[in-house]
């Protein structure tokens, strides 16, 4: 009798463990922060690329409409690829703020004179700390940020593509 | 007189040094509990990647600002999600993870007590 109970107990435990593990198989393992909508601290200061002037980043954002923030570097090959899409966004008269990530000013300026400058303003991020304020993990990354609430509306990790460009255009129209 | 000045200078610099050391150990302690998001399997403390070096600097700046350890974790969790810290939070998804060792411990204890008392 007690042998049977022991056997049933063991079987039941095994079944429970099996079900837990089976359920675990279907849990998504997406740990990227791409969907996180955190707030940006607008009180940080940064140096402009072209004038060396130190400004408060809140001055760069339009309070009434969303802005696009793009983290880039001249040494980053995918940034070169996505640049054409940023140029297309600029044609739509959108406020694009560039964050030049761990780059030499000379190389950054050469990059822009070669491929065009889509940015309304560029700030430098020599030590990478400003990019962390935006929750970035590397270059390139693109953010749509609401000027009203300082919140990230949408985040793209990695280079832009024509599909992402279309999505950005739609999002900007919705959020005006 | 010059000996006294030397002594004062020595004391001043040694205190300064120990203060800097204290901050560095705190940075190490915090970054050991942060996951390097672009080099999985490594902590921010272990990694030399661009992301990790910037992160170490951010942690150091936050300590200089007078932020507490928990405040720094909360700040980073807000930006990168809970995945950035190694120690999982106690919530609905992780309750089993936290409770199972405790349950095993209690059951194991009960088993041992029963065995001993039977003898």
pLDDT in tens, A85-139: 999 998 888 899 999 999 999 999 999 999 999 999 999 999 999 999 999 999 9
> What pLDDT, on a 0 to 100 scale, did the predictor assign at position B63?
93
pLDDT in tens, B18-54: 777 888 899 999 999 999 988 878 999 999 999 999 9
- Residue A91 Cα, gap to closest chain B Cα (Å): 31
Report for A40-49, A106-115, B84-93: range of highest mean pLDDT: A106-115
Residues in a beta bridge with A123: A48, A99
The DSSP letter of residue B91 is S
Confidence of residue A174 (pLDDT cuts 50, 70, 90): confident
Burial B69-103 (b: 16+ CB within 10 A, else e): eeebbebbbebbbbebbeeeeeeeeeeeeeeeeee
Stretch 135-154 of chain A: residues touching chain B, C-beta under 8 Å? 135, 137-138
> What pLDDT, on a 0 to 100 scale, did the predictor assign at position A118?
95
pLDDT surpassing 80 at residue B14: no
pLDDT surpassing 80 at residue A76: yes
Q: What is the CATH number of domain A35-174?
A: 3.40.30.10
Residue B81 in 3-state DSSP? coil
Rounded to 10 deg, the angle between the A162-174 and A77-91 helix axes is 40
CA distance B19 to B21: 5
- A170's CB contacts (< 8 A; 6+ apart) are none
Contact at CB, B57 and A129, closer than 8 angstroms: yes
Domain boundaries, chain A: 35-174
Burial A137-157 (b: 16+ CB within 10 A, else e): bbbbbbbbbbbeeeebbbbbe
Contact at CB, A138 and B51, closer than 8 angstroms: yes
Asked casually if ipTM beats, i.e. exceeds, 0.90, the reply is: no
Percentage of chain A with pLDDT > 70?
99
Answer whether A140's CB lies under 8 Å from A85's CB: no
Tokens linked to B45: 């403390």
Closest chain B residue to A137, measured at CA = B51
What pTM was estimated for this model as a whole?
Answer: 0.78
Residues in A closer than 8 angstroms to B61, CB to CB, are: 129
Residue A108 in 3-state DSSP? helix
Sign of the alpha-carbon torsion through A27, A37, A144, A123: negative
Considering only CB atoms, B81 lies closest to which of A31, A129, A134, namely A31
Q: What is the CATH number of domain B2-87?
A: 1.10.8.640
Residue A115 in 3-state DSSP? helix
């Amino acid at each position: 009798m007690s042998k049977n109970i022991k056997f049933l107990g063991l079987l039941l435990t095994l079944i429970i463990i099996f079900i837990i593990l089976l359920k675990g198989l279907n849990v998504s393992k997406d740990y990227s922060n791409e969907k996180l909508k955190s707030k940006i601290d607008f009180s940080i200061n940064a140096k402009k690329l072209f004038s060396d002037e130190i400004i408060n980043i809140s001055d760069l954002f339009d309070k009434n409409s969303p802005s696009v923030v793009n983290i880039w570097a001249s040494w980053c090959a995918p940034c070169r690829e996505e640049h054409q899409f940023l140029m297309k966004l600029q044609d739509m008269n959108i406020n694009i703020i560039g964050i030049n990530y761990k780059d030499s000013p000379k190389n950054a300026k050469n990059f822009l004179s070669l491929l065009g400058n889509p940015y309304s303003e560029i700030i430098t991020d020599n030590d990478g700390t400003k990019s962390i304020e935006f929750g970035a993990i590397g270059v390139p990354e693109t953010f749509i940020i609401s000027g009203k609430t300082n919140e990230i509306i949408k985040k793209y990790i990695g280079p832009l593509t024509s599909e992402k460009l279309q999505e950005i255009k739609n999002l900007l129209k919705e959020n005006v | 007189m010059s000996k006294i000045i030397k002594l004062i200078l020595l004391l001043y610099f040694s205190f300064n040094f120990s203060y800097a050391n204290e901050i560095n150990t705190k940075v190490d302690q915090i970054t050991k509990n942060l996951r390097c998001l672009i080099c999985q399997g490594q902590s921010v403390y272990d990694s030399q990647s661009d992301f990790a070096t910037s992160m170490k600097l951010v942690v150091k700046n936050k300590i200089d600002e007078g932020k507490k350890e928990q405040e720094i974790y909360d700040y980073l969790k807000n930006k990168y999600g809970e995945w950035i810290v190694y120690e999982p939070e106690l919530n609905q998804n992780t309750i089993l993870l936290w409770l199972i060792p405790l349950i095993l411990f209690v059951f194991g204890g009960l088993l041992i007590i029963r065995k001993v008392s039977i003898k």
